[in-house]
Amino acid sequence: MSFKGQHILSVKQFDRDNISRIFEIARQMAPYASRKKRTRVLDGAILGNLFFEPSTRTRVSFGCAFNLLGGEVRETTGMESSALSKGESLFDTARVISSYSDVIAMRHPQAGSVAEFAEGSRVPVLNGGDGANEHPTQALLDLFTIERELAASGLQIDGMHIAMVGDLKFGRTVHSLSKLLCLYRNIKVTLVSPAELAMPDDIVSNLADAGHQLVISDKLEGHLNADIVYQTRIQEERFPSKADADQYRGKFRLNQEIYTRYCKSNTVIMHPLPRDSRMEANELDNDLNLNPNLAIFRQADNGVLVRMALFALTLGVENIVKDYECAVPWYSNK
């Protein structure tokens, strides 16, 4: 696949070569993300950053990624402050915003909405999460993180053991990540969730068809000795009410004591964030913060690299980023 001018709507678009290419470009972005150098390769370009659902990291990291490549960001946040709340169609919004911008990142609560929007867009659209459906840029940064973290123990994605824990029904990050894992070989995938929040059947079938070994459980005990434990938040916003979500909160807590008892000494802990740190949930306790295998902040940092790579590729500048380099004159402790 050539990335230039393409929408990024689903991980199903990618093969392993595409992913290797994205990761190769992402690694090249490290000096800019760590402020060792600047690049102005996207000087003059505009990102339309449209977030119709709550977000901190994804929205800001899309924006920072674009800024770090020298581009400008225009954004709108929240449904109520947009013309969609006046009845405008996604198509009309797309036609207008795509004439104002060079690329668009978008998040929306409805499954399929970003693809519908892309039909009206004249510039590439990057899906920042469409309801419970997909979150392709998150899955790419998750896989990038998995590859990096496993390499430290001499392991690879092929042949690894990953346990995904929590709300696997509504969690779009685990949906997209599972679909990506189908491109790899011989993975043991453990799915731990309450039965009512199980991974959708079609995704489980895809994992089985890919030849992966599947373990499905509604208990955490006995399933934590994986290479990667990918914890998730109960996706309260997709439940009919807070009370419905409350039934499942706090069921699968992970803290240092449980880690010491059940995980391997080098089990990597991931979470797309935000972790729900309220007492009744506390799915990843703060006492893990000093555990060197807690990768959640490295994971979030990797999001900037991967999103920079996706902008460079979709705008066709991935090979000339260096030609637009300049110095960083300000103090930086990164």
Q: Which of residues 63-122 bind ligand NCD (CB under 6 A)?
A: none
CB of 19 to ligand NCD, least distance (A): 19
Establish if 58 lies at the interface with ligand NCD (CB under 6 A).
yes
Establish if 129 lies at the interface with ligand NCD (CB under 6 A).
yes
Pick from 49, 138, 293, 314 the residue near ligand NCD by CB under 6 A.
138
Pick from 145, 173, 267, 293 the residue near ligand NCD by CB under 6 A.
173
DSSP SS3 for 179: helix
Q: Which residues contact 285 (CB under 8 A, 6 or more apart)?
A: 253, 254, 255, 256
Establish if 233 lies at the interface with ligand NCD (CB under 6 A).
yes
d(C-alpha 314, C-alpha 307), whole Å: 10
Establish if 135 lies at the interface with ligand NCD (CB under 6 A).
yes
Closest CA to 54 of 125, 105, 116, 129: 129
State which residue, 134 or 227, has the beta carbon closest to ligand NCD.
Answer: 134
Residue with tokens 């901190």: 56
CB of 106 to ligand NCD, least distance (A): 13
- Measured CA to CA in angstroms, residue 321 lies from 26, 28, 302 at distances of 12, 9, 18
Binding mask 298-327 for ligand NCD (x = CB under 6 A): ------------------------------
Q: Which residues contact 152 (CB under 8 A, 6 or more apart)?
A: none
CB of 56 to ligand NCD, least distance (A): 8
State which residue, 28 or 77, has the beta carbon closest to ligand NCD.
Answer: 77
DSSP SS3 for 128: strand
Pick from 38, 57, 188, 264 the residue near ligand NCD by CB under 6 A.
57
Task: Provide the H-helix boundaries in the chain.
Answer: 16-28, 30-33, 57-68, 90-100, 113-119, 136-151, 172-181, 201-209, 242-246, 256-262, 296-314
Q: Which of residues 262-291 bind ligand NCD (CB under 6 A)?
A: 272-273
Please work out the total of residues on this chain that contact ligand NCD, with binding judged by CB under 6 A. 11
Binding-site ranges for ligand NCD (CB under 6 A):
57-58, 129, 135, 138, 172-173, 233, 235, 272-273
